Amino acid sequence: MKSDGRWFTHLLGSGANAASIPPPRFADASLPEHYPPDLELEPTHLDIDLYISLNARAVGGRVTTTVQARRAGPSLLQLDAVDFEDLFVQATDGAALTWHYDGKKLTIRWEQPFAAAEVRHVEIAYRISEPASGLYFCRPDDHYPAQPWYAASDHETERARHWLPCIDLPNVRTTLAYHLRADARFTILANGFLESEQEHGDGTKTAHWRLDQPCPSYLACIAIGDFVRADDGVFDDGQASVPIAYFSSQEHAPQDLLRTFGRTRPMLAWMT
């Protein structure tokens, strides 16, 4: 059907009336403006050294952030961090800095501005109890005695900030090192490759995982718990051999995992 344009005239009016109508907006004009950070100081690596207590539903330890300046002169870094307790911040090299925390944002300012491309490291010690989001705990209790034991992260899209100090936006991507300590009876999983596990002789162990590919905060992942494991061989892309294994809580059997995820290897072959 051919349009004669009358619908357009009816919608916009004519003459002065049409000229006075503002252009359409994609959002309500009352909403606050929201822009990504300019990243004058950009985090490039997170070293995450934490103890995770499933029984207490709590996390404690320290995260060391590697920061690189993209130009000369900046001195301020602002990180997302929601409801952190017992917070303490220091430069690993002893450089003078000040910091301020308002319950949602951690603002760090070095006394000496950065040179262009300069790299520094800042250590953030803290504790989190029963985070509201981002890291979810499950364990048996009086009402649900058969519940499984696990703690697992789910950050989509901006929820890492509830347990991990970071710029919680997808335009910031860091490599990751995890040193995660938990009860020795639990499996400890994270992004990347398992470098080592160390028993401490006190009923706990530490797992060291490493991810060398830059990763946005919403894809950083940990899972700790009493898991079922199903091994499914090795995927070899001609450059590296990667063992394939699937995990779940105890409600499922290994054959359930193999039936559900058994096509992972051909999927990897297709993608690579």
Per-residue pLDDT for 236 more than 80? yes
CA angle 187, 199, 192 (to 5 degrees): 45
The domains of the chain are located at 41-131+171-217, 228-271
pTM of the shown model: 0.87
The Cα-based distances of 184 to 200, 222, 247 in angstroms read: 9, 16, 17
CATH architecture of 41-131+171-217: Sandwich (2.60)
Kindly state the average pLDDT of the residues 129-142: 96
Q: What is the pLDDT of residue 37?
A: 83
C-alpha 9/C-alpha 15 separation (Å) is: 10
Per-residue pLDDT for 92 more than 90? yes
Q: What is the pLDDT of residue 8?
A: 44
Other beta carbons less than 10 A from residue 230's beta carbon: 20
- Higher-confidence residue of 272 and 90: namely 90
CA angle 178, 187, 271 (to 5 degrees): 70
Per-residue pLDDT for 174 more than 50? yes
Q: What is the pLDDT of residue 33?
A: 74
Nearest to 60 by CA among 163, 133, 157: 163
The chain-wide mean pLDDT, for the chain, equals 91
Share of the chain above pLDDT 90, in %: 82
C-alpha 72/C-alpha 29 separation (Å) is: 36
Per-residue pLDDT for 175 more than 70? yes
Per-residue pLDDT for 6 more than 60? no
User: pLDDT confidence of 26, banded at 50, 70, 90?
Assistant: low
Share of the chain above pLDDT 70, in %: 90
The answer to whether the Cα torsion of 42, 83, 64, 118 is positive or negative is positive
- Higher-confidence residue of 6 and 200: namely 200
Would you call 200 helix, strand, or coil by DSSP?
coil
